[in-house]
Homo-oligomer: A and B are copies of this chain.
Amino acid sequence: MQIAEPLAVAIDELSKLPGIGRKTAQRLALHLLKKNDDDVRNLLKAIQDLKSKLRFCERCFNLSEDILCNICKNHKRESSLLCVVEEASDVIAIEKTNEYNGIYHVLGGVLSPLSGVNPDSLKIKELVKRFNKEEINEVILALNPDTEGETTSLYLAKLLKPLNIKISRIARGLPIGGDLEFADDATIGRALLNRSIL
């Protein structure tokens, strides 16, 4: 096929993005071609800034523009309540709910011996240090409810137990709008086990 080189290269590069196949990549490339220069410049600048202006918060390892992230800098947040999550994207997910006003600690992943992720690869040492420096009363473990997330939760619970802090884990059960008929056994089992008294 005799397709112009710059277009072929752009399709190649765009199709490397997650969830973008070659057809979508072609559609995006042709869309960008039609867009005016300013719009494309804004997109390019946004991606550049993403790489150059963002760093990790030195306290909680959330994404940040400064030494401390917006959440750590905010004095209105309850600094005695700490939520441990896997990735910065989980912080965004929890923030969107407007149900949480505490602070965070981003582990940067979960324990996975098969993929070579051990406690030293995660920000676990840094988490333990925070309990010495900060006044934290409760830790919420908000890791994903999969095998590796559960393993990491159990590891952290054991590690933090001697510190005599309240440790909790986010509830597992049926998702809102879910359907008993289509839920898997493990989810229904857990929902029964963790039933709440009305």
Contacts and interface: CB of A to CB of B under 8 A. Distances in A.
Interface of A: 1-7, 9-10, 12-14, 16-20, 24, 26-33, 37, 39-40, 42-44, 46-51, 53-54, 63-65, 69-71, 74, 87-89, 92, 95-96, 98
Contacts of A20: 28
A68 to B, nearest CB: 11
Contacts of A28: 17-20
Contact of A26 (B33, B40, B89): B89
B4 A70 contact: yes
B74 A2 contact: yes
Given A17-B28, A65-B6, A48 B43 contact: no
Contact of A1 (B4, B7, B43, B95): B95
A107 B113 CA distance: 58
A98 B89 CA distance: 44
B92 A1 contact: yes
A26 to B, nearest CB: 7
A47 B24 contact: no
A10 B65 contact: no
Contact of A7 (B2, B12, B63): B63
Contacts of A43: 13-14, 16-17, 47
